[in-house]
């Protein structure tokens, strides 16, 4: 557990960047089609939006709802987290869900930044469509279990249900500059004016994955270390 680490190891942990994240994939044929249509419209030559580039668009295969991030610094820690995910988390979920199907409706755009003219992240809001609206309860219970076991550090910010559609941290550099260069924002105002009420449809949350940070899979997709099914 994090709080039992030797001092030297704790220092390394504190300095390290997150290595993994826990997430529900958000997918359906309808969502893939609608997201593709949205991206094509925003990237078209007739749509004027400063700072927009194909590289900052989130692939439909990478669309997800994040619950939290992890710092797993070696293979043993990764394997321990995956075992906990597979052995313990299904019971945590079922205590609340009780065989109900988790469903969410992806609609209405927003930016993480208050100034939409200097945006870095644009997302679609995730609305709970589950019977009795238990999604936040399920997410909170999973996070609590992971924190108590020492895999995650508790985030004091309220849980924000969202799915990122545009993220400037993914911007491809044409100059070969380092990743530490200042991120270039985009002007989200034209997008919000034309697409603020974007509706991507409903997704059923049937898997929970521990994903590696960084898009290192085929076609710049995320790689899963392990997952559980929510439909069994």
**pLDDT tens digits for the chain (232 residues)?**
444 555 556 666 677 789 999 999 999 999 999 999 999 999 999 999 999 999 999 999 999 999 999 999 899 999 999 999 999 999 999 999 988 899 999 999 999 999 999 999 999 999 999 989 999 999 999 999 999 999 988 888 888 999 999 999 999 875 444 455 688 999 999 999 999 999 999 999 999 999 999 989 999 999 999 999 998 6
What is the distance between the alpha carbons of residues 121 and 225, in angstroms, rounded to a whole number? 26
pLDDT of residue 76: 95
And the tokens for 141? 């219970």
Is-above-0.75 flag for pTM? yes
Q: How far apart are the first and last CA of the chain?
A: 30
pLDDT of residue 111: 98
pLDDT of residue 157: 85
Measured in whole angstroms, the distance separating CA 143 from the mean position of its chain's CA atoms is 14
Q: Report the chain's C-alpha Rg in angstroms.
A: 19
DSSP element (H, E) containing 111 = strand 103-111
What is the distance between the alpha carbons of residues 159 and 200, in angstroms, rounded to a whole number? 21
The CATH class of the 2-171+180-229 domain is alpha beta
pLDDT of residue 1: 46
Helix, strand, coil proportions of the chain in percent (round to 5)?
A: 35, 25, 40
Please report, for the chain, the start and end positions of each structural domain, with discontinuous segments joined by +.
Answer: 2-171+180-229
DSSP element (H, E) containing 89 = helix 89-97
């Amino acid at each position: 557990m994090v709080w039992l680490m030797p001092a030297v190891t704790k220092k390394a942990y504190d300095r390290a960047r997150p290595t993994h994240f826990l997430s529900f994939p958000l997918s359906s044929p309808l969502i893939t089609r609608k997201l593709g249509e949205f991206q094509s419209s925003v990237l078209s030559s007739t749509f004027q939006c400063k700072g927009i580039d194909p590289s900052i668009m989130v692939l439909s295969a990478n669309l997800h709802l994040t619950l939290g991030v992890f710092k797993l610094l070696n293979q043993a820690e990764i394997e321990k987290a995956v075992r906990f995910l597979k052995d313990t988390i299904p019971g945590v979920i079922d205590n609340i869900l009780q065989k109900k199907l988790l469903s969410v409706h992806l609609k209405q755009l927003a930016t993480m930044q208050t100034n939409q003219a200097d945006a870095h992240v644009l997302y679609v809001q995730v609305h709970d469509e589950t019977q009795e609206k238990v999604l936040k309860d399920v997410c909170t219970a999973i996070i609590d279990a992971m924190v108590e076991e020492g895999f995650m550090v508790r985030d004091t910010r309220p849980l924000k249900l969202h799915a990122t559609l545009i993220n400037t941290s993914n911007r491809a550099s044409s100059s070969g500059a380092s990743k530490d260069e200042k991120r270039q924002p985009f002007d989200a105002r034209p997008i919000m004016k034309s697409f603020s009420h974007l509706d991507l449809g409903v997704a059923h949350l049937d898997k929970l994955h521990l994903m590696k940070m960084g898009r290192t899979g085929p076609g710049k997709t995320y790689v899963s270390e392990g997952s559980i099914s929510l439909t069994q």
